[in-house]
């Protein structure tokens, strides 16, 4: 079996450089390629057990997300895996179902299994990360904020995105604009609804809280919320839906009621799944999910490798577009 010294000799680098490459520590792309090519040529496999004993943690990170069925989190997970595997780490995907009890169980498992770190989109503001932080585990919050904790985070500007989506509806002449947002105890839901309020005020329109509906971040939640809004004595003439799956449910109800996005304004936060392409006239706030995952994993790997700088929050940009062509006859 090849040794680290043989890999170093073939690559023309020091054994310490080989170690840094396989420990996920930053080295130049050129040296990393030389080392990996040499390792492949020699069929070298790092001794993961010994490395775990030395470093007191495994080469596994946990990604805890609230809904594995949401394509946004699927794309985010791909970004995490891309960065983690490039550094020699494996990823365990944990689905909390927006349940803080289930989430806490996954956090306990991460501790018990000595996982190197955790990337988490918290189930709610009540999520407890202290079992990780008290043991000095690396933690990065993604999509949803760290809830007052001193940890790294990767976000998009949810308030600005909600405002941009609603502003597009105001610009198209809609005056009674509703908002379907997520659970009231989830930060992203709060911020996106705040953006809706901001845009209405800026556009000189009344903020009518009866036009605000909270729902779970799923298709059935979007259906229930849209039914609630359309049943009002004075229903909205447009709606901003604060995530992609709720948008699908809301559009199902909209079309069942004989309405279309060419007459009833509609804006969505997040790209719709492949099965429901955006209909004509619909405003979409595009969220860079894969980039968020890759950024979060890169930050986590840096902490694992010894970065002890102050916590950082990285905010990635959203893009807003309006679909000009009919791409959907109905939503299934």
Cα dist from 296 to 79, 81, 82, 107, 274, whole Å: 9, 11, 11, 17, 25
In the chain the domains, ranked by start, together with CATH numbers, are: 4-46 (no CATH), 57-155+289-316 (3.40.50.2300), 158-287 (3.40.50.2300)
With b meaning 16 or more CB within 10 Å and e meaning fewer, what string describes 169-189?
Answer: bbeeebebbbbbbbbeebbbb
In which band, very low, low, confident or very high, does the pLDDT at 285 lie, cut at 50, 70 and 90? very high
Residue predicted with more confidence, 294 or 305:
294
Q: Are 121 and 73 in contact (CB under 8 A)?
A: yes
In which band, very low, low, confident or very high, does the pLDDT at 27 lie, cut at 50, 70 and 90? confident
What pLDDT digit, counting tens, does each position of 230-244 carry?
999 999 999 999 999
What pLDDT digit, counting tens, does each position of 133-142 carry?
988 899 999 9
Looking at 127-136, 158-167, 215-224, which range is the least confident one?
127-136
Q: What angle do CA 83, 86, 91 make, to 5 degrees?
A: 60
pLDDT, average across residues 292-300? 95
Beta bridge partners of 241: 180, 268
Predicted confidence at residue 24, as pLDDT, reads: 61
Q: Are 85 and 75 in contact (CB under 8 A)?
A: no
pLDDT more than 70, % of the chain? 90
Whether pTM > 0.85 for this model: the answer is no
Q: What is the C-alpha to C-alpha distance for residues 132 and 113, in angstroms, rounded to an integer?
A: 12
Say if residue 57's pLDDT is above 70: no
Say if residue 14's pLDDT is above 90: no
């Amino acid at each position: 079996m090849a040794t680290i010294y043989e890999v170093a000799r073939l690559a023309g680098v020091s054994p310490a450089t080989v170690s840094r490459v396989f420990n996920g520590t930053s080295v130049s792309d050129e040296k990393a390629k030389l080392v990996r090519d040499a390792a492949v040529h020699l069929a070298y496999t790092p001794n993961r057990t010994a490395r775990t004993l030395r470093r007191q943690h495994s080469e596994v990170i946990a990604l805890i997300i609230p809904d594995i069925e949401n394509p946004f989190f699927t794309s985010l997970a791909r970004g995490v895996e891309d960065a983690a595997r490039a550094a020699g780490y494996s990823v365990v995907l944990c689905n909390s179902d927006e349940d803080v009890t289930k989430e806490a169980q996954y956090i306990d498992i991460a501790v018990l299994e000595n996982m190197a770190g955790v990337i988490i989109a918290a189930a709610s503001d009540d999520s407890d990360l202290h079992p990780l932080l008290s043991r000095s585990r690396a933690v990065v919050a993604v999509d949803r904020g760290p809830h007052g904790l001193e940890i790294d985070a990767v976000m998009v500007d949810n308030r600005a995105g909600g405002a941009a989506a609603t502003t597009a509806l105001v610009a198209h002449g809609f005056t009674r604009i509703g908002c379907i947002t997520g659970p009231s105890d989830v930060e992203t839901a709060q911020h996106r609804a705040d953006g809706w309020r901001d845009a209405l005020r800026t556009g000189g329109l009344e903020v009518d809280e009866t036009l605000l509906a909270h729902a779970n971040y799923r298709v059935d939640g979007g259906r229930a919320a849209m039914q609630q809004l359309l049943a009002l004595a004075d229903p909205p003439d447009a709606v901003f839906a604060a995530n992609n799956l709720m948008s699908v449910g809301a559009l199902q109800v909209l079309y069942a009621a004989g309405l279309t996005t060419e007459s009833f304004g509609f804006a969505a936060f997040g790209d719709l799944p492949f099965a429901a392409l955006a209909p004509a006239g619909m405003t979409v706030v595009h969220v860079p999910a894969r980039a968020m995952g890759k950024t979060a994993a890169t930050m986590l790997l840096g902490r694992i490798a010894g970065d002890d700088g102050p916590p950082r929050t990285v905010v990635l940009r959203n893009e807003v577009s309006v679909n000009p062509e009919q791409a959907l006859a109905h939503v299934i």
